[in-house]
Chain A
Amino acid sequence: MTTTEMALKTEPFVLNIGPVHPSTHGVYRMRVTLDGEVVLDMEPVFGYLHRGVEKLAEERSYTGFIPLTDRLDYIASMSNNLAYCLAVERLAGVKVPERAEYIRVIMAELQRLANHCIVVGAFFNDCGAYFTPFMYLFREREKILDLFDMVCGQRLTYNYMRIGGLSQDIPDEFLPALKKFLPQMKRFVDEYECFIKQNEILLARAKGVGILSRETAINCGISGPVARASGIKWDLRKADPYSIYDRFEFDIPFGEAGDCYDRYRVRMEEIKQSLRILEQAARQIPPGPVKTEVPHLIRPPAGEAYAHIESPKGELGFYLVSDNSIAPYRCHVRPPSLINLTALREMVRGWKVADLIIIFGSIDITMGEVDR
């Protein structure tokens, strides 16, 4: 039945969600056109957190930019550090000691755990489970933050990696603490799964909701867990192994339907795979130096380099152009959050307001990375 056939005349109205809203994960803003509860159209508005990070890079030395990368995706700072350092190392042709590579992998995977803890928790929060699933995941994330605190003294913005290695070696108590943490986390994930995986309300809310088709995902350049939930078996750790990922055994979990439920499932499975990598890395880690001697004001030869990693949110890439000075001539970030967000409009059309929120929550964005 169309609107004209109805006795009561109705018209769509525009609802402004954000930039300050409990579940826009920062300062994202959506102008939503609604027909009652049904979303007819969604217009994204961003830029509220724009700080000009890419421009700032041109004013700083290569090393001096590392702390700023922490502020891009502040949920997963270690991954940003890693991607940026890889780009500079590729540009300058610096080799990284083996022990540093192992520690980098350990940090990146721990960061993936911490990120997925927040995402899955926030997703359940958006579903309306009043903070309980969130708080339990947050408790586990605290343990990871304690580990980070141990290695670099920071809990959110780590600034741990350096061009050519790491700022410092891990302390002696780190590896025992990590080995104690891994089985704990494994047990916790299994327990958590058995509580909420088959919850009827969750199934009703998330299954079949916000479907992102394989084709759309590829066309929009979606990456990370969102793409894998749509059935694209694409993970840079396997597809283009950087660092030393080719030495570890792990699987790429992927979904089929591409709905919110699959995105949540893929993240939980990724946590388990990350634990596998961590176990192997903690076992194999060799002794040795953790940093190649690199001049503090490094001057890479003129040229360009692009390095990308599988960050918890997707393909995170840094593109650097050097003119043989102490600062990059141009720095560009390929933020997975922003590019994954481009498909949101297609995903939410025709769903209800409540679905809009959980679809948005299931994409996993950090505004610091979207706006840069």
Chain B
Amino acid sequence: MAINDVIHHLPMTATPPDWPGGYWWHWLFFTVVLIGFVLAMVMGAIYIERRVLGRMQSRLGPNRTGPFGLLQVVADGIKLLLKENIVPSNADKVVHVLAPVVALVPAMMIFAVVPFQDGALLADLNIGILYIVAISSISTVGVFMAGWGSNSKYSLLGAMRNIAAVVSYEIPMVLAIVGVVLVAGSLSMNDIVLAQNIPFILLQPLGFLIFFTAGCAEINRSPFDLMEADSEIVAGFHTEYSGMRFVIFYMAEYTEAIAISAIITTLFLGGWRGPLLPPWLWFIIKVIIVFFLMVWTRTTLPRVRIDQLMALAWKFLLPLALVNLFITAVQVLVWPDGLPWLMVVINIAIMVILILIWSKLFKLGWGRVEV
């Protein structure tokens, strides 16, 4: 077998192999691969973020540990592992200790339904996207446990902000997903990728913007990072964490960022589809591109305030998401067998017009005193 075949046909198939207990081999294999993939991607993401931040801020970024500073993440990890795990004396100890795990595990579980190749995923659930929406909200519980269990006012403020943000942003996010589901005609992640002869970022440009914004808000990426706003409430919910538990929170944060990037890739960028390169490589490249966008916004924008965050969700994103859903539904009704290329132009035009109108109606600093 040529090496090319090996690369293109990694042992990733939806149907379990024919050997005895093949079903369980499939599960075991994918679980190991996924955990490895997630950990590697998290390390890569941290490295990329720090280097890109450095580059954009006209400084060097980490470049001392290993070639190009590649081992910086490892060095930081080892340092944090060797540190003492401090539990505040008046903390709710069980909750405090459990919180990082509750935050990390759901973020990792998202990858169970993300396809790396046609049919190459842990579980091809026919309600894949619904599963993601359900699972991703559980991380919030971990964050609130951390805020409550630390017995610190900074942590509690951060956790309260997080709950408020997630509750608000879940709604436009899900509505944006519904638009994609309508066009694709399926809730399965694999089928959604297969349906994207035209990437949905072109057919659903407004949905993409809404999902990206809401996704950033849900995973505390700037400019919506006010749950751990370092200049205001020190580190938000993980102020009181140190050592390994801090590492787990840190990992959870980046796992969520990678997960949102992977979901955006799958829903809007055509997932693993692409010419020449093997599918899984396409998938990783697209994930990194989306993650880069997040880093870019982080270096560029100031942070919004909590009431502005709420206003943006309820007054800007939600109406737009509803309008987007309505327009998509009408389009799908007219062309039940898939939208034609013409709709790309029309939808982009609709997006631009809607955003312009809404920007006139809604200003972020609504209610700010004009003197």
Contact = CB atoms under 8 A, between A and B. Distances in A.
Contacts of B303: 127-129, 201, 205, 354
A259 interface: yes
Contacts, number: 111
Interface residues of A, number: 39
Interface in A94-150: 124-132, 135-136, 139
Contacts of A132: 56-57, 299-300
A13 B223 contact: no
Interface string A198-213: 0111111101110100
Interface in B111-127: none
B298 to A, nearest CB: 6
Interface residues of B, number: 37
A237 interface: no
B223 A207 contact: no
A3 to B, nearest CB: 17
Contacts of B364: 200-201, 203-204
Interface stretch (B17-25, B132-140, B231-239, B253-261): B231-239
A354 to B, nearest CB: 5
B234 A201 contact: no
B302 A13 contact: no
Contacts of B231: 22-23, 125-128, 357
**Which residue among A129, A203, A207 has the maximum number of chain B CB atoms within 10 Å of its CB?**
A129
A204 B365 contact: yes
B81 interface: no
A35 B369 CA distance: 22
Interface in A170-208: 199-205, 207-208
Contact of B57 (A131, A203, A205, A357): A131
B300 to A, nearest CB: 7
B79 interface: no
Interface in B14-63: 53, 56-59
B170 interface: no
A130 B305 contact: no
A354 B154 CA distance: 12
**Which residue among B57, B58, B230, B307 has the maximum number of chain A CB atoms within 10 Å of its CB?**
B57
A354 B305 contact: yes
Contact of B365 (A13, A207, A256): A207
A127 B153 CA distance: 21
A214 B363 CA distance: 28
A226 to B, nearest CB: 16
Contacts of B365: 200, 203-205, 207-208
Contact of A136 (B57, B298, B306, B370): B57
Given A128-B226, A204-B368, A256-B371, A199 B306 contact: no
Given A22-B231, A126-B231, A201-B301, A37 B371 contact: no
Nearest to A262: B371
B308 interface: yes
A128 B302 contact: yes
Given A22-B230, A354-B226, A354-B306, A129 B301 contact: yes
Interface in B48-104: 53, 56-59
A68 to B, nearest CB: 31
B299 to A, nearest CB: 5
Contacts of A36: 160
Contacts of A152: none
B165 to A, nearest CB: 13
A355 interface: yes
Contacts of B232: 23, 128, 353-354, 357
B225 interface: yes
Given A126-B231, A129-B300, 4 more contacts: A15-B157, A128-B225, A205-B365, A353-B157
22 contacts: A21-B234, A23-B231, A36-B160, A128-B225, A129-B301, A129-B303, A132-B56, A132-B299, A135-B58, A136-B57, A136-B58, A199-B302, A200-B364, A200-B365, A201-B303, A203-B364, A205-B302, A207-B368, A208-B371, A209-B368, A352-B306, A353-B232
